[in-house]
Amino acid sequence: MNAPAKSKLIKGESGEWEVVIGLEVHAQVTSNAKLFSGASTAFGGEPNSHVSLVDAAMPGMLPVINRYCVEQAVKTGLGLKAAINNKSVFDRKNYFYPDLPQGYQISQYKSPVVGEGKVTVDLADGETIEVGIERLHLEQDAGKSIHDLHPTNSLVDLNRSGVALMEIVSKPDLRSADEARAFLTKLRTILRYLGTCDGDMEKGSLRADVNVSVRKPGAALGTRCEIKNVNSIRFVGQAIEFESRRQIDIIEDGGKIDQETRLFDSNKGETRSMRNKEEAHDYRYFSDPDLLPLEFDEAFVARLKADLPELPDEKKARFVKSYGLSPYDAGVLIGERGTADFFEEVAKGRDAKAAANFVINEFFGRLNKEGKDISASPVSAKQLASIVDLIGDGTISGKIAKDLFEIVWNEGGDPRAIVEKRGMKQMTDTGAIEKAVDGVIAKNPDKVAEVKAKPNLLGWFVGQVLKETGGKANPAAVNELLKKKLGI
């Protein structure tokens, strides 16, 4: 599908290599209760305070499927434009671990609830790729072993035990660390729009197993290594960069890649072997006799489909079409549902491009600088809209608008009233502007002599006049006037 672009290939001693990546993403389902019990899924509770008898695997307990979690999985499948399987099966994946009291994880193996789908991903260089989704299945999370709270014992916290996860498996369609990062970012955006996973990687709500192999362009797929449980988008990129280079070096030194499970050490920026294929688990999957196959009818799916929110791709297309924004700007604005809504509130009934410019450059810039989420913004959409209006009707210049934004950000208040009170209005008195222009010209005869040969100097003159006028002169008027007076 994705023909390897030259720039994505990696140089080795023997020529160029192509990296092939597939992700298995574990996304915690947004739900108050667990997948098969009524216990709470709240984050950060006292250890073992959100554990039902089912989660603790007490003898004789029976799992009961949480309908809401199934709805969430189906919604996600629809958001991934995937086939929904009206009948699927829960299996037991058997393994022993202290934080898994059942001795098996209930998962879906051969018959997942969601089949093949696709995700459209826009890359930074403007290219768009399509990444295949292999499947999505529901499964339980395990508990957590804690090794650093007691000198000689390990402790177990079962709060996470039984929490619903969606495992979303991509096809091996990704060809670089950049593509993998962009895919995961897009997937997270879709999940957040749907409200089916909060995408909070710091809390472990979203984590990825990263499968990496290398091959000569056009050759058959190489042997892959799977890097387990990577918990940030940045680390996914670093792990791929390290791992692909490691594999290329081994093959070029005459060795071969062992299929193995590795972990990413974020302190060292490297991957390390965890277990190889010989030690690999045999999970002895079989369908869980405590649970009937999961079945629902078309009407159930249709109802969920009818309730889907506008998804990122559709929103982006609408922003381009109805607001006349560039695809790039539209892509930035739709990154979060909250930012898209905020923009639309600012743009309502105004010059949408001007609104987009201010929101992206000033407002997002400021949020990023402070590491703030839009929900914590001290400036409201209404205040921002008022600033855009003040620029639009010529009351203030773009430069003053930045100062005004800064004031509103720090002190709050009605932008129009602030402009009045602090005398920030754009100078409309052409006489005063002319005076400032004349002053600057008179003070800089050397620059005046140069400007004809170096037209770039005009910008310097404009800057000086704006400085003289405290930024209140209209830059276009200053520009005009300077050109006339300097004879250029």
Closest contact distance (angstroms) between CB of 172 and ligand ADP is 4
User: Which residues from 76-135 bind ligand ADP, rule CB under 6 A?
Assistant: none
Determine whether 475 is exposed, middle or buried from the number of CB atoms within 10 Å of its CB (0-12, 13-18, 19+): middle
Closest contact distance (angstroms) between CB of 266 and ligand ADP is 21
Question: What residues contact residue 300 under an 8 Å CB cut-off, 6+ apart?
Answer: 74
Question: What residues contact residue 164 under an 8 Å CB cut-off, 6+ apart?
Answer: 28, 29, 31, 34, 35, 41, 66, 69, 72, 138, 139, 140, 141
Print the binding letters for residues 214-253 with ligand ADP: x by CB under 6 A, - otherwise. Answer: -------xx-x-----------------------------
Cβ proximity to ligand ADP, 206 vs 359, nearer residue: 206
Question: What residues contact residue 474 under an 8 Å CB cut-off, 6+ apart?
Answer: 394, 397, 426, 427, 428, 433
Tokens of 50: 């959100």
Cβ proximity to ligand ADP, 172 vs 204, nearer residue: 172
The reply on whether position 155 binds ligand ADP by CB under 6 A is no
Closest contact distance (angstroms) between CB of 21 and ligand ADP is 6
Using CB under 6 A, which of 16, 24, 116, 270 touches ligand ADP? 24
Cβ proximity to ligand ADP, 29 vs 210, nearer residue: 210
Please give the Cα distance from 353 to 328 (Å, whole number).
Answer: 12
Closest contact distance (angstroms) between CB of 26 and ligand ADP is 12
The piece of 17-25, 99-107, 123-131, 247-255 that touches ligand ADP (CB under 6 A) is 17-25
Using CB under 6 A, which of 18, 22, 190, 355 touches ligand ADP? 22
Q: Which residue is nearest to ligand ADP (CB)?
A: 22
Question: What residues contact residue 368 under an 8 Å CB cut-off, 6+ apart?
Answer: none
Please give the Cα distance from 164 to 37 (Å, whole number).
Answer: 10
Tokens of 92: 């037991």
Closest contact distance (angstroms) between CB of 167 and ligand ADP is 10
Closest contact distance (angstroms) between CB of 253 and ligand ADP is 20
Instruction: Please give the helix or strand (H or E) that residue 187 lies within, else none.
Output: helix 177-194
Determine whether 284 is exposed, middle or buried from the number of CB atoms within 10 Å of its CB (0-12, 13-18, 19+): exposed
Closest contact distance (angstroms) between CB of 87 and ligand ADP is 21
Determine whether 440 is exposed, middle or buried from the number of CB atoms within 10 Å of its CB (0-12, 13-18, 19+): buried
Closest contact distance (angstroms) between CB of 132 and ligand ADP is 8
Q: Using the structure block, give the residue that is written with the tokens 């990413």.
A: 264
User: Which residues from 166-185 bind ligand ADP, rule CB under 6 A?
Assistant: 169-172
Opening angle at CA 210, ends 208 and 213, nearest 5: 170
Using CB under 6 A, which of 8, 17, 18, 23 touches ligand ADP? 23
What is the amino acid identity at position 123? Answer: L
The reply on whether position 211 binds ligand ADP by CB under 6 A is yes
Cβ proximity to ligand ADP, 188 vs 224, nearer residue: 224
Closest contact distance (angstroms) between CB of 90 and ligand ADP is 17
The reply on whether position 4 binds ligand ADP by CB under 6 A is no
The piece of 205-213, 241-249, 251-259, 383-391 that touches ligand ADP (CB under 6 A) is 205-213
Q: Where are the alpha helices (DSSP H) in 324-444?
A: 327-333, 337-347, 352-357, 365-370, 381-392, 398-411, 415-421, 430-443
Cβ proximity to ligand ADP, 22 vs 471, nearer residue: 22
Opening angle at CA 22, ends 17 and 27, nearest 5: 150
Please give the Cα distance from 432 to 435 (Å, whole number).
Answer: 5
Say how many residues touch ligand ADP, by CB under 6 A. 15
Cβ proximity to ligand ADP, 285 vs 409, nearer residue: 285
The piece of 79-87, 164-172, 192-200, 477-485 that touches ligand ADP (CB under 6 A) is 164-172
Cβ proximity to ligand ADP, 24 vs 270, nearer residue: 24
Closest contact distance (angstroms) between CB of 3 and ligand ADP is 17
The residues binding ligand ADP (CB under 6 A) are 20-24, 169-172, 211-213, 221-222, 224
